[in-house]
Chain A
Amino acid sequence: EIVLTQSPGTLSLSPGERATLSCRTSQSDTGNSLAWYQQKPGQAPRLLIYGASSRATGIPDRFSGSGSGTDFTLTISRLEPEDFAVYYCHQFGSSLFGGGTKVEIK
């Protein structure tokens, strides 16, 4: 059974700090199939990163993605107030989403 595991479940940080979110897949991936989404309360998710490291249209460059194989990372270099949200990774092929990481204000 393929599983996507995100960690940590919750990340408590202050504006201006760096956020590092992890997504581990049980099925090795070149990275071509890995995407990240941001979801704010009451809103639909928004595509941030595709192909593990490419930013979607309109996404600020403080968001970056990296990784290959089974370990992937979403990094927010300096948290802005609007970045506090839940983040999901998703793997095409398995059609699975990770359980999400909530980035909350410390």
Chain B
Amino acid sequence: EVQLVESGGDLVQPGGSLRLSCAASGFTVSSNSMSWVRQAPGKGLEWVSIIFSGGNTYYADSVKGRFTISRDNSKNTVYLQINSLRAEDTAVYYCVRDPQPLSQGSLYYGMDVWGQGTTVTVSS
């Protein structure tokens, strides 16, 4: 069964750090692009970061310089290191399989596998 399971969410003080984990089963993360998407309480969805199968990484402007996405192929796991946490980072963080188009302008198949989410709360 294709599945993503996130962990690592917690209550953290402003300025603190966390590492979120996303363990995949049923497919290989290194062969796929993987994204993190977050949702603040009562709000919509916000794309946060992506790691491509080739290893390139990209970030939303709101998290650039504070968040780092990585993966451990031996553990089939994707990580999101979150530093310098702010109140506005409070959200449910979803790990998502995000297959990319084969070429520019070709079909995008959508974020087809989602984890259940892990909650990050930033508060003093």
Q: Is the CB of B101 within 8 A of A92?
A: yes
Q: Give Cα A49 to B110, complex, Å.
A: 8
Q: Quick check: is A70 within 8 A (CB to CB) of the other chain?
A: no
- Given known pairs A44-B114, A44-B116, A44-B117, the reply for A33 and B108 (CB within 8 Å) is yes
Q: Quick check: is A50 within 8 A (CB to CB) of the other chain?
A: yes
With both chains docked as a complex, state the minimum distance between the C-beta of A67 and any C-beta of chain B, in angstroms: 15
With both chains docked as a complex, state the minimum distance between the C-beta of B25 and any C-beta of chain A, in angstroms: 16
Q: Is the CB of B44 within 8 A of A44?
A: no
What is the interface of chain B mostly: helix, strand, loop, or mixed? loop
With both chains docked as a complex, state the minimum distance between the C-beta of B49 and any C-beta of chain A, in angstroms: 10
Interface residues of B toward A: which range? 20 to 34
Q: C-beta contact mask, A61-77 vs B, less than 8 Å → 1, else 0?
A: 00000000000000000
Q: Quick check: is B115 within 8 A (CB to CB) of the other chain?
A: yes
The number of chain A residues with a CB under 8 A from chain B is: 25
Q: Is the CB of B107 within 8 A of A97?
A: no
Q: Give Cα A39 to B116, complex, Å.
A: 12
With both chains docked as a complex, state the minimum distance between the C-beta of B114 and any C-beta of chain A, in angstroms: 4
Q: Give Cα A97 to B109, complex, Å.
A: 15
Q: Is the CB of A99 within 8 A of B44?
A: yes
A6 nearest CB neighbor, chain B only: B44
Q: Tell me which residues from 86 to 119 in chain B have a Cβ below 8 Å from any Cβ of chain A.
A: 94, 101, 105-112, 114-117
- What are the 3 A-B residue pairs with the smallest beta carbon separation, nearest first? A50-B110, A35-B110, A92-B108
